[in-house]
Structure 1
């Protein structure tokens, strides 16, 4: 799963010059505090690629088949750049 996560995140970094890797150190209640996330979205929200790809993987494992899910997700986030 790590390869897919890295690929998904690096697509943003390669496509948009405003998107960069970074860390969020607070609040501690965030699932991705002190873990690498993507920063630079207009909304101010950080993209936690690991959890996003994990959630898609769980949907596939439970039988949900959407072969365009990752691309759709990329497009949704791309609108916030």
Structure 2
């Protein structure tokens, strides 16, 4: 799966499941600021992402993930591993 397909699917989850405004989903946006999710929402996000992409994410995976692009890159790495 290429990075554009990953972005499209992830953004669809952000918009549909968490009511994030599409306009705020730019690659250099800070993940916490763009998504405006609380800690419980992050658990739901991880579950939705894992289900959608058939991957497993652990807390250590998120070290260094600050922007949406970092998050997309993490997904690409996990998916294509």
Short-chain TM bin = 0.3 to 0.5
Give the strand-richer structure, 1 or 2.
1
Bigger Rg over Cα: 1
TM-score (norm 1): 0.36
**Structure 1 or 2: more helix by fraction:** 2
